[in-house]
Amino acid sequence: MTTLLIATSNPGKVSELAAMLKDLDCQVIGFADLPENPPAIEETGQTFAENALLKAEHYHRLTGLTALADDSGLEVDALDGRPGVYSARYGGEHLSSTEQVQLLLSELKDVPVPKRTARFVCCIALVGNGINKTFESSCEGSIAYEPRGENGFGYDPVFVDAELGLTFAELSREEKAPRSHRGKAFLQARQFLAEWLKS
C-alpha cells in the first residue's frame, strides 16, 4: 500500500485532508507519524505553486515517501493582495494565528464593507516516484469586522464566504470542504490520486 505523507506541521490540516482521503487505497500519515520531525525548508517561492512544490520535493527527497504539500493564503484586495504567500508568517514568525488575524483586522479597520473583498488561494503539490503535479483553486469572500465561529484555523474566523454570508469558522468541516480553496484544490488532487493508485 502506498504511504502518503501530508507534509505540514499543522495537525488541523493533516486531519482535514486525511478525512477526505479515507476511502482511497493508501495510508495517510503526518509528521507526527515519522520517527523524527524532518527539517523544514524555507519557503522562498514567489507564488503558492512554487512554495508548494518546494515543500513536496523537499519532503519526498528526505523521506522517500510520496509527499503532498500545500501552500495557501489569503489575498485581500484593499491590501494589494497581502498577506498572500506570507499569510502564515504575516507580521513576523513570532505572531500567533490569533495575533495575525488581529493585525489584519487593524489594517482594515477603516475599510468599508464593499471594499473588504478577499479570496483564499490554495495550491497543492504532489511529488513522488514518477509524479510531480500541482493543483490550484480559490474561493471568493470578504473580511469580517471581527472573528466569528469556533471551527477551522488561521484566517477562517474572519473570512466570510461570498455565497453563504458565514465565516469559514462558522461552517462544519463537511460544509467547508467543498467550498474552500483547499477543498477544491484537494478534490483535483484526490481525483488524480485515485486514478494513479489504480494504475
- Catalytic positions: 71
Q: Beta-carbon neighbour count of residue 57 at 10 Å?
A: 17
Phi, psi (rounded to 5 degrees) for 106: -65, -35
Cα–Cα dist 99/139, whole Å: 23
CA distance 108 to 31: 36
Helix axes 11-20, 181-198, angle to 10 degrees: 50
Can you tell me the distance from the alpha carbon of 64 to that of 175, in angstroms, rounded to the nearest whole number? 34
d(C-alpha 134, C-alpha 93), whole Å: 26
Cα separation, 187 vs 177, whole angstroms: 9
d(CA 69, CA 63): 14
Cell numbers placing 195: 486514478
What is the C-alpha to C-alpha distance for residues 149 and 63, in angstroms, rounded to an integer? 37
DSSP reduced 3-state for 29? strand
